[in-house]
Structure 1
Amino acid sequence: MSTSFDERERPTARSTPGARATRTGLIALAVPHLEEPYFAELSSRLVRGAEARGLAVLIVQTEGEHSREIDVANGHGLPDIDGLIHIPRSLTVADLTRRTSPGPLVLLGEHIQVSPFTHITIDNCGAAKTATAHLIEVGCRRIAFIGRRDARPSDAADRRHAGYLEALEAAGIPADPALTAQVDAFTAEEGERVAAEMAAAVADLDGIVCSNDSVALGALAALAARGRRVPRDIAVIGIDDIRAARFSVPALSSVAPDHDQLVDAAFTELERQLSAPIGANLPVRHITIPARLVKRASTAR
Structure 2
Amino acid sequence: MAGSRLKDVAERAGVSIKTVSNVVRGEIKVADRTRERVLRAIAELDYQPNASARHLRTGRSGIIALAVPELVSPYFAELAAQVIAAAKKRGCTVLIEDTGGDPAEELRIACGLSDPLIDGVLLSPLRLDEQVLGARKQRVPLVLLGEQSYEIPADHVLIDNAAAAREVTEHLLALGRRRLAVIGQPSGLAHATTVQRMHGFLAALHAAGVPHDPRLAPDTREFTRSAGAAAMRTLLALEDPPDAVFCFNDLLAAGALRSAYDQGVRVPQDLAVAGFDDVEESRYGTPSLTTIAPDKRGIAELAVDALMRRIEAGVAGTTPPHARHLVGYELVVRESTRAEG
After superposition, residues 1-301 of structure 1 pair within 5 angstroms as: 21-151=58-188, 153-276=190-313, 278-301=316-339
Shift in Å, 1:125: 0.5
The runs of at least 4 consecutive aligned structure 1 residues that moved more than 6 Å come to none
> What CA distance in whole angstroms lies between the structure 2 residues aligned with 1:117 and 1:71?
16
Between the aligned partners of 2:93 and 2:308, the Cα distance in structure 1 is: 14
C-alpha separation between the residues in 1 aligned to 2:113 and 2:308? 23
After TM superposition, the structure 1 stretch with the greater mean CA deviation from structure 2, 126-135 or 97-106, is: 97-106
When the two structures are aligned, how many residues end up with a matched partner? 283
Return the TM-score normalized by structure 1. 0.90
Residue 205 of structure 1 deviates from its aligned partner by 1.4
Deviations 1:46-102 (A, max 9, x none): 111111221101111110011111111122342411100000011122222332321
| Partner SS state of residue 95, structure 2 | strand
Alpha-carbon separation, structure 1, partners of 2:337 and 2:95 = 39
Greater relative contact order structure (CA < 8 Å, 6+ sep): 1
Q: Does the aligned pair in 2 maintain the 1:160–1:211 contact within 8 Å? A: yes
**Does the 8 Å contact 1:131/1:254 carry over to 2?**
yes
Name the amino acid aligned to 2:137: T
State the Cα distance separating 1:280 from its structure 2 match: 2.4
Contact 2:250-2:282 within 8 A present in 1 as well: yes
Gaps spanning 5+ residues in structure 2: where? 1-54
Could you tell me whether the CA contact under 8 Å between 2:103 and 2:129 is conserved in 1? no
The alignment partner of 1:208 has SS state of: strand
- TM-superposed CA distance for 1:235, in Å, is 0.2
Letter in 2 for 1:293: L
CA shift digits 1:163-218 (9 cap, x unpaired) = 00011111111111111122121011100011111111153410000011110111
Distance apart, 1:150 and its partner CA: 3.7
CA distance in 2, matches of 1:298, 1:56: 39
Counterpart Cα distance in 1 of 2:171 and 2:118: 44
Q: Secondary structure at the match of 2:292?
A: strand
Greater strand fraction, Structure 1 or Structure 2: 1
Shift of 1:226: 0.6
Q: State whether residues 111 and 140 of structure 2, in contact with CA within 8 Å, keep that contact through their aligned partners in structure 1.
A: no
Residue 260 of structure 1 and its aligned partner are, at CA, apart by 2.0
RMSD (Å), alpha carbons: 1.6
Taking structure 2 as the reference length, the TM-score comes to 0.80
Q: Which residue of 2 aligns with 1:14?
A: none
Aligned to 1:8: none
Q: Offset of 1:281 from its aligned partner?
A: 3.2
- Deviation sequence 1:222-259 (CA, Å, 0-9, x none): 10001000000000000111101001110000011112
Moved more, 228-237 or 84-93: 84-93
Instruction: Say which SS state the counterpart of residue 182 (structure 1) adopts.
Output: coil
8 Å CA contact 1:120–1:266 kept in 2: the answer is yes
Q: Is the 8 A contact 2:64 2:93 kept in 1?
A: yes
Check whether the contact 2:79–2:297 (CA below 8 A) recurs between aligned residues.
no
Quote the sequence identity (%).
Answer: 38
Q: Is the 8 A contact 1:252 1:298 kept in 2?
A: yes
Gap runs ≥5 in structure 1: 1-18
**Which one is further off, 218-227 or 199-208?**
199-208
Deviates more, 1:143-152 or 1:181-190: 143-152
Alpha-carbon offset, residue 113 of structure 1: 3.9
Which residue of structure 1 aligns with residue 39 of structure 2?
A: none
SS at match of 2:323: strand
Which one has a bigger Cα radius of gyration?
A: 2
Give how far 1:134 is off: 0.6
Higher helix share: 2
Q: Which amino acid aligns with 2:128?
A: L
Cα–Cα, structure 1 residues 53 and 70, in superposed 2: closer, same or farther, change >3 Å?
Answer: same
Aligned to 1:126, the other structure's residue is in SS state: helix
